Amino acid sequence: MLRLALMLITGILVSFYYFPFEFVFMPEVNTKMAMAAAGLVLVAIRVARRRMPVIDKDFLTISVLAGIVSLICLAAVVWNGTEDYTYVTYIVSMWVWLSAAYVAVSAIRAVHGTVSVTLVCNYLIAVCVFQCLTAIAIDMIPALKMAVDRVVVGMGFTPDGWMETTDRLYGIGATLDVAGSRFSVVLIMIVHLCLKRGYRIGKMLLTWYISAFFVIAVIGNMIARTTTVGLVLALAYLAFSALTIRIDREHKGWTWTYLGGLVAACLLSVVILYNTSPVMRSNIRFAFEGFFSLAEEGRWEVHSNEILQNMVVFPDNAKTWLIGDGYIENPYGKDPYYMGPQWHGYYMQTDIGYLRFIFYFGIFGLLAFIYFIWRAGKICIGRFPSHTVLFLLMLAVNYIVWMKVSTDIFLVFALFLCVGQEENDDYDRMIAEGR
């Protein structure tokens, strides 16, 4: 019982990290920042006890790269004479993510006696399922919605006392495209863990993974249709692997029969909900608008994609291409020196990640940022080679999502950067031996 309680607390910490939010009574300080402060204390204690090196090589590498991104941002801002410092402090943001990740990973290690890529993935899967189910509960239970809106900044009542409204589903900190990219990564994790264990996975664990996959794929898309990126990549990964996986005759029968039964049960549940609940029907149609459009009208049509097409705007001068304009946020009303046109939304009225970065710090800044994310993934691949496909697909999620929004997934890599190679190998060996 105590162990379950500790696992629940650890799950809450992981959720605070993965989907950070601000309490109304503590504005400007989100859960990630609070965990980062605790992480600094933990690191200081471990260094004092000489249980870890003062400067880690991988930490130094990504810090230098993040510092280069920040310096390019600063150069763009100074050159253009703007006051948009959104990414100038990116190196600080990276340290905050790493420090907070260290707390989450340390909690997992304390409860289980070890930590590994698999354990971190399992906690992230559980957190995403919780967020999805919570989002449905918030949407259907007015009392719960009011309680969350009064406590969490950005969901409802703000510190200024006014009410924000949204037609989208949301969990506790999980909302819009930020949640979509993180759901995408977790969908890939589920498929990866299933394929890694193969027929040795066991019925109970397979049931959990498949059920979690359907919950996140369906409800995650209701929250943010960016989840489709992970859904497509995960299914492609599964389809490709199915052609190469060999299962002996003893296990082949029950594996495919049981897997097929689970998938059929999940699909049947979605169909029943679609036909019996008007609310779920509306949410499901929103989540898979493109598929419904293709089936009913013969063409793929999504409202948000139409909006995105109108946001394709490129710089019209060499200076912007090289060093940017120094704006990533909408400067109107924020920068007293801005005398340009009044944009709706972000600068140049575009939400596309690659374009926002180019307009902010130019092509050199974009390339530096791309390389920083790649390097973080490469470090994880070098440390955990048996999970190479997982990290490559995570990188793919990041670069694909940038075609729509500017959010990055370094926070996911940060968790694995806090996992030791030896303890992960020991855990994988134990799983392989069936212990």
In 10 A of CB 435, how many CB atoms?
7
CA distance 139 to 219: 12
What residues form DSSP beta bridges with 163? Answer: 157
Confidence of residue 55 (pLDDT cuts 50, 70, 90): low
Distance CA 393, CA 1 (A): 37
Q: Which two tokens stand for residue 286?
A: 């929103």
| pLDDT at residue 107 greater than cutoff 80 | yes
**DSSP 3-state of 154:** coil
Residue 306 binned pLDDT confidence (cut-offs 50, 70, 90): low
Sorted by where each begins, the domain ranges of the chain are: 2-432
Query: CA nearest 416: which of 389, 433, 386, 391?
Result: 391
C-alpha span between 123 and 339 (Å, rounded): 48
Instruction: Tell me which residue has tokens 């492609």.
Output: 236
CA distance linking residue 154 with residue 163, whole number of Å: 9
| Rounded CA separation 38/32 (Å) | 10
Decide: 30 and 18 in contact? Cβ < 8 Å. no
Q: Report the pLDDT value the prediction gives residue 426, as an integer from 0 to 100.
A: 81
Q: What is the pLDDT of residues 356-372, one digit of tens each?
A: 999 999 999 999 999 99
**pLDDT at res. 12:** 94
pLDDT for res 164: 47
Q: Where are the alpha helices (DSSP H) in 277-387?
A: 278-287, 289-297, 303-309, 318-323, 353-383
Integer Cα distance of 45 and 215 in angstroms: 40
Which of these ranges, 100-109, 241-250, 375-384, 403-412, has the smallest mean pLDDT? 241-250
d(CA 328, CA 234): 31
Cβ burial, residue 121 (10 Å; 0-12/13-18/19+): buried
432 or 322, greater pLDDT: 322
CA distance to 145, 166, 171, 176, 300, per residue, from 135 (Å): 9, 13, 4, 12, 27
Residue 197 · residue 387 · CB < 8 Å: no
> Range with the lowest mean pLDDT among 156-165, 180-189, 322-331?
156-165
For residue 165, the model assigns a pLDDT of 44
- Whether the CB-CB separation of 83 and 102 falls below 8 Å is answered with no
295 dihedral zone (left: phi>0; alpha: psi -120 to 50; beta): alpha
Is residue 206 exposed (0-12), middle (13-18) or buried (19+ Cβ within 10 Å)? middle
Q: What are 218-233's pLDDT values in tens digits?
A: 899 889 888 989 999 9
Q: Which of 18-22, 72-76, 195-199 has the lowest mean pLDDT?
A: 195-199
**Relative orientation angle of helices 57-80 and 410-417, to the nearest 10 degrees:** 150
> Residue 103 has what pLDDT?
95
Question: How far is the C-alpha of 378 from the C-alpha of 365, rounded, in Å?
Answer: 20
pTM above 0.75, yes or no: yes
Q: What is the average pLDDT score of the chain?
A: 83
Confidence tier at 159 by pLDDT (50, 70, 90):
very low
Contact indicator for 166, 215 with CB cutoff of 8 Å: no
The CA R_g of the chain, rounded to the nearest whole Å, is 22
Q: What is the DSSP-derived secondary structure letter of residue 114?
A: S
- Mean pLDDT lowest among 179-188, 205-214, 289-298: 289-298
User: What is the pLDDT averaged over residues 235-257?
Assistant: 65
Q: Which residues pair with 157 in a beta bridge?
A: 163
Higher pLDDT, 25 or 387: 387
Cβ–Cβ under 8 Å, residues 245 and 198 = yes
Torsion of CA 115, 121, 125, 130, to 10 degrees: 40
**What is the rounded CA–CA span in Å between residue 218 and residue 283?**
9
Instruction: Flag whether pLDDT at 281 surpasses 70.
Output: yes
pLDDT at 316 over 50: yes
Whether residue 429 is predicted with pLDDT greater than 90 in this model: the reply is no
Burial of 385 by CB count in 10 Å (0-12 exposed, 13-18 middle, 19+ buried)? exposed
